[in-house]
Amino acid sequence: MHLPSAIAALVEGSDVERVDIGESTARVFRITTPDRGLLFLKHAPRDAELSAEAARLRWLSGRAQVPDVVAFTIENDEEYLLMTGLPGLNGVSAARQGPESVCRAMAHALKQLHAQDASRCPFDQTVDAQIARARRRTHAGLVDESDFDRERLGRSASELLVELEAKRPADESRALTHGDACLPNVIVDGERFSGFIDCGRAGIADPYQDLALAARSIEGNLGSRWSDIFFREYGISDPDLGKLAFYRLLDEFF
C-alpha cells in the first residue's frame, strides 16, 4: 500500500497487519513499530470523513480515554489517520473470556464519559442535527439498505426516515457521547476499561445514543440477559424502551 511520505517516515521498518473487525468503511492496519510501540492506521476515501474522527480524538484527549493522533494527512482524495494503540482487546474478543466484566467495564466507562463537562464540545450530535444528516444521506442515496437490522430488511431508507421523524423522542438530555458505543469500539485490558476507539460520531447527544447501541451490541454478541447487567451497572433500573428503539432506528442511516 502506498503511504504519504509523512506517514511512511513514521512507520518505516514496522510490521503491518490488516485488521478486519468492525463495520468501518476504512481499511485498518495494526502497525508494530521498532521505536513507537503499537500504532493503528486508518485509510479511507475522503468522503469517509476520517478528518472528523481526527478532530474528535484531538478534542477528546484529556477528557476521555482515546487513542492519540500521531499524524493525519490527505493525499489524492485519500485520508490517512495514524493513532496510538490501546492495551487490551476489543469488547467482542474480551467478552469471550469474561462477559460480565466487559459489561461492567462498558457501563462504568460510558457513565464516566456522560458525566464529563460537554458545554464546550463543538460536535453537535443532537436529534435535530442527526435527523438532518439522515435526511441528506437518504436523499443522496448514501444509506446502505442492505445493512439494515433484520427486522427492517427489505424496507427503504425513505420509509425509515418517515418513521424516524414520527418517533422523535419528546425529551432529549445532553451529554458527551461516543456515538457508536458497540462492543468492537470498546477496548478492555483484563477487567479494566482501556479506552474507546472509532470516535468519529462523538459529540453532544442524549446518553441513550450510547446506551441503545451498547445494549444492542451486548444482546447480539452475548445474549439478552447481559444487557440487564449493563443497565444495572450504569444505574438504570427501567430503560426507556422508546428511546432505545429510536436511537437504534437512527443508527440505520449511518
Cβ within 8 Å of residue 1, ≥6 positions away: 29, 43
Instruction: Copy the grid coordinates of residue 31.
Output: 502497525
Q: Helix/strand/coil (H, E, C) string of 26-74?
A: CEEEEEECCCCCEEEEEEEEHHHCHHHHHHHHHHHECCECCCCEEEEEE
Angle between helical axes of 99-114 and 224-234 (0-180°, round to 10): 40
Q: Contact at 8 Å (CB) between 54 and 69?
A: yes
Cα separation, 220 vs 230, whole angstroms: 13
Query: What is the bridge-based pairing of β-strands 15-19 and 27-32?
Result: antiparallel
Strand-pairing partners, residue 180, are none
Cα separation, 169 vs 176, whole angstroms: 18
Residues labelled as active-site residues = 180
